[in-house]
Structure 1
Amino acid sequence: MKRVTTVLLSILIAISFTYNSTQVEAASPKATVFANCKEMNKVYKGGVARSAGVKNKGGKTKYAPFISQAIYDANKKSDRDKDLIACER
């Protein structure tokens, strides 16, 4: 009986680790690195903002930016005016 209990607990622990790791992977979006703003604007017309609270310093824009810290951090080089919005249009 002790051996059966040990085996069942081991299986439950293995399942819980597998379940937790898939939850973390599904929750975080994959950060794509774009070669330039033209490529980024094909996917995200308004560019990518680091957070919802950032304000555009570059003037009037046509489109609202997509909000993603991971994508912004991967493409930080494309934010020329340093307003935390990469490739805004």
Structure 2
Amino acid sequence: MKKLSVILLSFGLVFGFSFSAGDNAKASTKIISYKNCTALNKVYKGGVAKSSKVKNKGGKTHYKPYVSSALYSKNSHSDRDKDGIACER
């Protein structure tokens, strides 16, 4: 019983550290300012939204926008209709 608990604890620690290392890699991604909507839509098909509460005022869209306030603020020059979603499609 003691060996089994040691083995289970070891696996838990190994898998716990491996999953937390992946989260840190996501957090350190660089915020990029894209030149135009074509370049932004290659990475984010639905555009970039300022927050999840923003509604599209420009008409019907086909894709859901990626929500990131930092990414939106870098690319707010591409938000033509000023609805809080840059390059919506």
User: 1:57 maps to which residue?
Assistant: 57
Please tell me the root mean square deviation across aligned C-alpha atoms, in Å. 1.7
Give the distance between the partners of 2:59 and 2:72, measured in 1 at CA: 19
Provide the rounded CA distance (Å) in 1 between the counterparts of 2:34 and 2:50.
15
Aligned AA for 1:35? Answer: K
Question: Cα deviation per residue 1:48-88 (whole Å; 9 max; x = unaligned)?
Answer: 00000000000100000000000000001000000000000
Alignment CA distance shift 1:43-1:25 (3 Å) = closer
1:3 paired residue number? none
TM-score normalized by the length of structure 2: 0.68
Gaps of at least 5 residues in structure 2 are 1-23
1:72 correspondence with 2:34: no
Structure 1 28/67 Cα, relative in aligned 2: closer, same or farther at 3 Å? farther
Shift of 1:27: 3.8
Is there any run of 5+ residues in structure 1 with no aligned partner, and where? 1-23
Identity %: 61
Rounded to whole Å, the distance in 1 between the matches of 2:63 and 2:27 is 26
Measured in 2, the distance between the counterparts of 1:57 and 1:28 equals 32
Q: Secondary structure at the match of 1:54?
A: coil
User: Number of matched residues?
Assistant: 66
CA distance in structure 1 between the aligned counterparts of 2:67 and 2:28, rounded to whole angstroms: 13
Equivalent position amino acid for 1:43 in 2: V
**TM-score relative to the length of structure 1:** 0.68
Q: Is the 8 A contact 1:29 1:70 kept in 2?
A: no
